[in-house]
Amino acid sequence: MTILNPTTPIPSGGGSGSSSCPPVDFQLGGVTLLPVLTVILGLLGNIVALWIFCFKLKAWNPNNLFLFNLVIADFLILMSLPLRIDDFLRGHWVFGDGLCRIDLFLMYSNRSASMALMTVVAIYRYFKVVHPHHWFNRMTKRQAAYVLVFVWLLAISLSVPILANNHIKDSANSTRCIFFTSTSLTNLVTMHRILAVLEFIIPMAMLLFCSIRISSFLRERQMGKPEKVRKAMRVCNAIVVVFMVCFLPTTVTTIGLWVICSYHSLDCTTLYTFIRLTIVSLGLNFLNSALDPILYIFSSSMFKKALCSSLPRFLRCGQDAGDAEKTAKSVDYPAGTEIHEG
């Protein structure tokens, strides 16, 4: 994900440093719609999820610990979005350098942590389904906590340079909070772009592997029962869909801007097009916080049971609380897979 200032001259990245595109104001006021919806829907969904995790779950397992940390990651982006929405609406940043650094740090930490945690959930499901007797399935809550500490340290370490540098960009008419604006940080910008691409490609490859292997395994074991296969596949498919919708566009625009800015002769029309796409893709990047609560329902039978039992009777998924648990388990693990979720 790359945050650029649409009203600031942008130098070519081909090494000459002598040419630049003139300032332009894209007036993409509608881009605030997705962040606003994310705040509304994300807060609602994640507050409900947090309430269920903290007060309704009677037992915890590694899977629920991973999902709970995904809720925490979502709250990071929800904390940063109000300032970002204000920046979009005003057209300039009014909160100073310190809050600029914190705001960008929360945004990038959320992106890294969310992608890593989604991948961990998919890998955990893969071992549960395809290798039910593997030692990975006997992971204790303490061992799961070690995995989470590693994930958070990795996500935070990738974003620490944001806290260490100034990202305020002053122009003739406005002040903007932009990621790595200083021309002296060229190597740091390059490193960020490489990491932004790798932290998408590597998890995406792992997610696709898990999804394909689970699908292949279940089709071999459950021939003649396609409905149960589809139900068991919903976990990984939901993660892949959320991953692609929210993170693929910003990865593509990051690569596109990287390629464009590497030319000695800068094509300003193409550059402006990619900047527009980048600004729009930011809204999709934020949207993962609003979509993640759907993953909790698919990924944890205990979460689904607690949610259904907390709803009024006429809203309980068309079944009472006792049936909710049975149905949720059939969604998570079809008969014949010899898998049990605590």
pLDDT at 286: 80
Residue 330: the pLDDT is 40
pLDDT (0 to 100) of residue 72: 92
Residues 327, 333, 337, 339, CA torsion sign: negative
Query: What is each CA distance from 173 to 2, 94, 208, 256, 276, in whole angstroms?
Result: 22, 13, 46, 28, 20
SS3 sequence, 176-187?
A: EECCCCCHHHHH
- In whole angstroms, what is the distance from residue 293 CA to residue 296 CA? 5
State the pairing for strand pair 168-170/10-11.
Answer: unpaired
Helix, strand, coil % over all residues of the chain, rounded to 5: 75, 5, 25
Q: What is the pLDDT of residue 31?
A: 60
Copy the structure tokens of residue 172: 């003739």
pLDDT per position as a tens digit, 5-55: 444 444 444 444 445 676 655 555 556 667 777 788 888 888 888 888 888
pLDDT, residue 340, reads 42
Residue 298: predicted pLDDT: 73
What pLDDT is recorded for position 231? 62
Ranges of the chain with pLDDT below 50: 1-18, 181-184, 224, 319-342
Q: What pLDDT, on the 0 to 100 scale, is given for residue 205?
A: 94
Model confidence pLDDT, tens digit, residues 79-95 = 888 888 888 778 788 89
Q: Which domains does the chain have, with CATH numbers?
A: 27-332 (1.20.1070.10)
